[in-house]
Structure 1
Amino acid sequence: MIKFDWQYTGDSPIYVRTFMRQQGISRTLLKQIKFSGGKICVDGIPVRVTYKMRANQRLEVTLPPEIPSDHLQVSNTSLEILYEDDHFLVVNKPAEVASVPSHIYADDSMVNRVKGYLIRTHAASQVTHIVTRLDRETSGIVIFAKHHFAHTVLDTQLKQHSLKKTYFCVVSGVVKQQHDVIDAPIGREPGSFIKRMVRQDGKSAQTEYWVAKRMAQSTLLRVRLHTGRTHQIRVHLASIGHPLVGDFLYGQQTNPWIHRQALHCASVSFYNPFAQRQITCYAPMPDDFATLIERENSI
């Protein structure tokens, strides 16, 4: 069982449910704790969420047990772990590996690999909670939470845009603007289930970029997302005439040095409330990405 405890240091009495919400426990998780086998105690005594805590009382919350899916296949392929504690697991995803299983990639996505890792390490919860995802061809950092509460914490940070992700990409052509923000709504392209496009009735999307290196026929960009739309970087950069090198969907897959879209999630930064500190992780550029920059720079 996974447990958390906090001491209330306020002056005025406070409802348990209010104090729990202040600690980051969502309404959904609160319901699960109440009705699915969790426990709520104050100074060791079980209480209802309407109980009023007084100064210096201690709240203990036990999360309900999480039941792993029998339908999720286990992969024992090793992981490149960038950060791990009792609450979070940050890994470096190779290109060509899907983030989540599908009917095409059912057995060896990152979710399958993390499930195998949680089982091998006898984790307190063996349910996989993926927080951030990458397209199959995109390399770099993917974050997993080790329990529902940790997932709730990071999901809130994503919605508040306080979880920061930085990407590097190589785009076709020489980008003239040293720095810019692309602010253009994104929606589905008519007739396609997969492809997106900039369209006025789409969802708001903002992508900020800085030129890191100009080469003869391409440009290395550092990119930060301010929203999280599907294919956002790929769509936005294609919309200004600079599609990603190797991107078959929004550009051309004709570069001899890389056989996928040249996009890499290089760093993430988030606040870990359980350790009360900021966590920043970095993933080195993979070999094909580094080779592409070297070759393009030598033209």
Structure 2
Amino acid sequence: MNGVSCIYRDEHIIILDKEAGVASTRLEGSSLPTVEDWLMQNIPSVAANGGGLVNRLDNLTSGLIVAAFTADDLFEMRALWKKREVEKEYICLVIGSAPPEGRITTLIAHHPTRSNKMIVVKDLEEAKLLKARAAETEFWVLEDMFEYTLLRVRIYGGVRHQVRVHLSSIGFPIAGDELYKKEKHKRRDWLGLSRHFLHASRISFVSPFDGKRLEFDSPLPRDLEEALAKAKGMK
């Protein structure tokens, strides 16, 4: 199947680069191709040995995903995520002129009535009720185009929709993100993207198997490069 490529593999892990429109895992009622499908077709020993995906990306987010070969490998890699010892970086384009850098630490929880959406939670009682999770998002401006800003974003660990909901919560939703844009942002988002401008561009961690630091990068895909060029053209 198309839409997934392997950029690295050793005896313990596999680093995959997925396109937007490819789901990480199979969801009920979905006909989208998945990264798990690709693994089953190309490296069937992963499922046979209890391995699988270490992290996931939203269907419309492109970029890097890590898989582990065996159940033991999967346990070790997921432990890195739980201890927040993995650096994950994204490139995104937000609506508006963002500050030069920032750090967002508000808790994130599932929306109480919309299963496909997350919310930030500041009230401690509400956080307890909604079982909110801690999340940390840092960002740095790569280029300010006034109407849009290109950001480098780093997260540790990871909560569902973390980058999207955190940036939206401070008034800078991601271009093309129909779920987290408010009406005022929808009127200002003229790029006409068919998906949100969010790409998992880099991942780095110390291997739990040999102690070596591993770093992997993924360039912006063509659709986002074209959208960025369009935004720069109006600078």
> 1:167, CA displacement in angstroms?
0.5
Q: Does structure 2 retain, via aligned residues, the 8 Å contact 1:154–1:163?
A: no
> 1:128, CA displacement in angstroms?
4.5
Distance in 1 (alpha carbons) for counterparts of 2:175 and 2:212: 37
Q: Does structure 2 retain, via aligned residues, the 8 Å contact 1:161–1:226?
A: yes
1:133 corresponds to which of 37, 45, 56? 56
> Match of 2:95?
172
Q: Which runs of 5+ in 2 are unaligned?
A: none
2:146 corresponds to which of 191, 216, 227? 216
> Match of 2:42?
117
Q: How many residues align?
A: 221
Cα separation, partners in 2 of 1:182 and 1:217, compared to 1, 3 Å: same
Does residue 186 of the first structure (1) align with residue 108 of the second (2)? Answer: yes
> 1:215, CA displacement in angstroms?
0.7
Query: Structure 1: which amino acid aligns with 2:70?
Result: H
Q: Does structure 2 retain, via aligned residues, the 8 Å contact 1:207–1:227?
A: no
- Secondary structure, in 3 states, of the residue corresponding to 2:224? helix
> Match of 1:262?
197
Q: Does structure 2 retain, via aligned residues, the 8 Å contact 1:99–1:134?
A: yes
Distance in 2 (alpha carbons) for counterparts of 1:116 and 1:149: 22
Distance in 2 (alpha carbons) for counterparts of 1:211 and 1:91: 27
> 1:127, CA displacement in angstroms?
4.4
Q: What is the root-mean-square deviation of aligned Cα atoms in Å? A: 2.0
Distance in 2 (alpha carbons) for counterparts of 1:107 and 1:179: 36
Q: Does structure 2 retain, via aligned residues, the 8 Å contact 1:257–1:295?
A: no
> Match of 1:294?
229
- Larger relative contact order (CA 8 Å, sep ≥ 6): 2
Cα separation, partners in 2 of 1:148 and 1:297, compared to 1, 3 Å: same
Distance in 1 (alpha carbons) for counterparts of 2:175 and 2:146: 13
> 1:77, CA displacement in angstroms?
4.3
Distance in 2 (alpha carbons) for counterparts of 1:231 and 1:124: 26
Deviations 1:107-129 (A, max 9, x none): 7211111111113xx67945441
Does residue 92 of the first structure (1) align with residue 17 of the second (2)? Answer: yes
Cα separation, partners in 2 of 1:124 and 1:159, compared to 1, 3 Å: closer
Question: Equivalent residues in 2 for 1:34-53 (5 A)?
Answer: none
Which 10-residue stretch deviates more, 216-225 or 133-142? Answer: 216-225
Deviations 1:51-76 (A, max 9, x none): xxxxxxxxxxxxxxxxxxxxxxxxx4
- Secondary structure, in 3 states, of the residue corresponding to 2:159? coil
Question: Equivalent residues in 2 for 1:194-213 (5 A)?
Answer: 194-199=116-121, 200=123, 201=127, 202-213=132-143
Distance in 1 (alpha carbons) for counterparts of 2:137 and 2:47: 38
Distance in 1 (alpha carbons) for counterparts of 2:146 and 2:84: 35
Q: Percent identity?
A: 29
Cα separation, partners in 2 of 1:276 and 1:285, compared to 1, 3 Å: same
Task: Decide which structure has greater helix share.
Answer: 2
> Match of 1:108?
33
> Match of 2:74?
151
Distance in 2 (alpha carbons) for counterparts of 1:110 and 1:231: 18
Cα separation, partners in 2 of 1:214 and 1:279, compared to 1, 3 Å: same
- Secondary structure, in 3 states, of the residue corresponding to 2:90? strand
Deviations 1:126-155 (A, max 9, x none): 544100100000000000001111111111
> 1:185, CA displacement in angstroms?
1.1
Distance in 2 (alpha carbons) for counterparts of 1:123 and 1:195: 31
Q: Which runs of 5+ in 1 are unaligned?
A: 1-75
Query: Structure 1: which amino acid aligns with 2:117?
Result: K
Q: Does structure 1 retain, via aligned residues, the 8 Å contact 2:20–2:61?
A: yes
Which 10-residue stretch deviates more, 227-236 or 197-206? Answer: 197-206
Q: Does structure 2 retain, via aligned residues, the 8 Å contact 1:171–1:245?
A: yes
Cα separation, partners in 2 of 1:113 and 1:239, compared to 1, 3 Å: same
